[in-house]
Structure 1
Amino acid sequence: MSLPVHLVPDLGGSAVGSVVTITGDEAHHAVAVRRLRVGEQLMVVDGRGTVVTGTISETGKRELSVVVDDLSLHQEPTPSVTVVQAIPKGDRGELAVEVLTEIGVATIVPWAAARSVAVWKGERAEKSHARWAATAREAAKQARRAWFPTVAPMATTGQVKTIIAGSDLAVVLHEAATTTFETLPTPTGRVVLIVGPEGGLTEDEVAAFEAAGARTVRMGTEVLRTSTAGVAAASALLSRTPRWF
């Protein structure tokens, strides 16, 4: 049986035999929901590459002490994949974030595409971003990731162009493209994948992204929903890298 995973802000300075303290909602979930008790083991991660396996030494309502039995440091996976995800309606955004996190995407960028039905503004933007971030955090724990993904602030098309310009390989999914994945170079460094909205990309968006250096490609003859296109494309790219060998 896999050990439960809990997140703390920082594991710097931890060593075998030292004590890690989990507080707040994470501790409450461990004690009140999972009903973990003194003497049981669990994993503690900081989401930045440090993973601890430890034994619970003390519990409280919103605090949990863990003695470190083992500590490991993990290098950040490479290539690093950033997915620019057009904001979909309803809960399909959280679905996209969940599956992208599970396969190891490093950064997820909500994008206000021209044809996005959902609009993030004001208080709604804050709440929607918080839901995406919480979904990524919980999915990363479930996937037992050493490095947790970042959910960036919502981006405009102009900001996406800047993201593309800083990448080693940028790919735009488009059902009308004539280029396929097999023509792409082996992904290395920083890879950016742009997923359009349910209504599709506009000609101006495609032209802007191509001018910034992105390659427009299609995946077979099927047209996927925006919430699943990203995970399919990212998986296709990662399968050509040492990360999935």
Structure 2
Amino acid sequence: MSLPVFISDSDAVVGKHITVTGPEGRHAVTVKRITPGERVMLIDGSGTTRTCLVTATGGKDRMEVVVESIEEIPAPNPRVTIVQAIPKSERSELTIDLLTQGGADRIVAWQSQRTIARWTGKEAKSLAKWQTAAETAAKQARRATIPEILGVVDAAGVEQLIAESDLAIILHEEASSPFRELTFSGSVVVIIGPEGGVAPEEVERFTAAGAHTVKLGPEVLRTASAGMVALAAIGVLSDRW
């Protein structure tokens, strides 16, 4: 059984002691009821994991550990950025949870033409919620990395991401090119529209910038689940898995 995972930005080496406090300490001591003698994994969110022996706990949020081993997890190839049209509020954090489980390296919030949810004036608060959802899902998925959360971008911002990528694709139900024919390497951008789909004007603009429209499969997926399915397909069709 895999070890419970907690986030710590400590750079301690093997044999060094780390004190985990705050929300992560509370999660370990109060929620997970970790006790001395158990082993846990600490991640820094950037690819480094530390297997640790719990030596003591205290109060409701204090866990003392000693580092037993350190592992550097190599970055995946390709590196996948999901450009996610902002879902409705009730599906927003679920979307991030699924994208994190699927292995997204970067998630960019996109205010698309057909997006119903509007973050005007509350961008920072909304992105913070996405970040929390990503951290929680990363621990649950036993990931060594936590997706980078960025945004909010408009169409021009999406064009910039396309220009910086080795491959950019738009998931589109009317596309003729099947997903399986793509070759994935380097940096990949996957553009996911809202429930109403990517607007024709946006498709035209993004394809002119270098993106390709592709069909993921015969079913029309919800915006909350489309990214995870795409990530799974990329995992099979590339060296990520």
User: Structure 2 length as normaliser, TM-score?
Assistant: 0.95
Q: Which of 152, 167, 192 does residue 154 from structure 1 map onto?
A: 152
Q: How far did residue 38 of structure 1 move?
A: 2.0
Give the corresponding residue for 1:213.
210
Q: Which of 25, 28, 53 does residue 27 from structure 1 map onto?
A: 25
Q: Over residues 132-175 of structure 1, what are the superposed CA-to-partner deviations in whole Å (9 max), with x where a residue is unaligned?
A: 11111111111111121111121111101100100001000111
Q: How far did residue 74 of structure 1 move?
A: 1.4
Q: Over residues 206-242 of structure 1, what are the superposed CA-to-partner deviations in whole Å (9 max), with x where a residue is unaligned?
A: 0111011100111233211111111112221221111
Counterparts of 1:78 and 1:113, CA distance in 2: 28
Give the corresponding residue for 1:144.
142
**Residue 199 of structure 1 aligns to a residue in which SS?**
coil
Give the corresponding residue for 2:165.
167
* Count of aligned positions: 240
Q: How far did residue 120 of structure 1 move?
A: 0.6
Counterparts of 2:49 and 2:4, CA distance in 1: 12
Q: Spell out the pairing of 1:35-184 with structure 2 (5 A cutoff).
A: 35-61=33-59, 62-123=61-122, 125-184=123-182
Counterparts of 1:23 and 1:80, CA distance in 2: 32
Give the corresponding residue for 2:228.
231
2:20–2:64: 8 Å Cα contact kept in structure 1? yes
**Residue 136 of structure 1 aligns to a residue in which SS?**
helix
- More deviation, 214-223/54-63: 54-63
Q: How far did residue 203 of structure 1 move?
A: 1.6
Q: How far did residue 52 of structure 1 move?
A: 0.8
Counterparts of 1:91 and 1:126, CA distance in 2: 18
**Residue 240 of structure 2 aligns to a residue in which SS?**
helix
Q: Which amino acid in 1 is paired with 2:15?
A: G
Q: Which amino acid in 1 is paired with 2:218?
A: T
Q: Which amino acid in 2 is paired with 1:59?
A: T
Counterparts of 1:214 and 1:234, CA distance in 2: 17
Change (3 A) 1:220 1:37: closer
2:180–2:237: 8 Å Cα contact kept in structure 1? no
2:101–2:228: 8 Å Cα contact kept in structure 1? no
2:172–2:214: 8 Å Cα contact kept in structure 1? yes
Q: Which amino acid in 1 is paired with 2:121?
A: G
Q: Which runs of 4+ in 1 moved over 3 A?
A: none
Q: How far did residue 58 of structure 1 move?
A: 2.6
User: Structure 1 length as normaliser, TM-score?
Assistant: 0.93
The two structures, once aligned, show a CA RMSD in angstroms of 1.4
**Residue 177 of structure 1 aligns to a residue in which SS?**
coil
